[in-house]
Structure 1
């Protein structure tokens, strides 16, 4: 790999603004704000709006609306179901 053309990849802590959930991951994003993590080290803190802790798909709060398919419409129309 060529030197000087790749961004700095380092560990950062992401925090969900809605729930306060935090997780450590690698990123090229930096931040002036830091936080002390469970391992005793300080890492840059990145605040995000949505994570798996607050997203409805992952929390099970998502509601699924399924439209009737063509076969279901046919069966309903002709009283076959």
Structure 2
């Protein structure tokens, strides 16, 4: 997977993860746990009109393809997730 990211992107790069899931405390906590203390994160969130879903945009600088793969693996394990890019 790392090789594919290297083909598609230049590093370091500012990168935004979009994560959508069920509006639950567990989902929100899991998304917050993706962020690491070794870097700055910009975060925005929005709720659906029905308040059943919440979306997060997390933006940070990604240094290399291994970091990008690491964060995508963490995101893929989040409970109540419906969509991520």
TM-score where L is the length of structure 1 = 0.25
Q: Which has the higher contact order (CA 8 A, sep 6+)?
A: 2
Q: TM-score, normalised by structure 2?
A: 0.24
Give the strand-richer structure, 1 or 2.
2
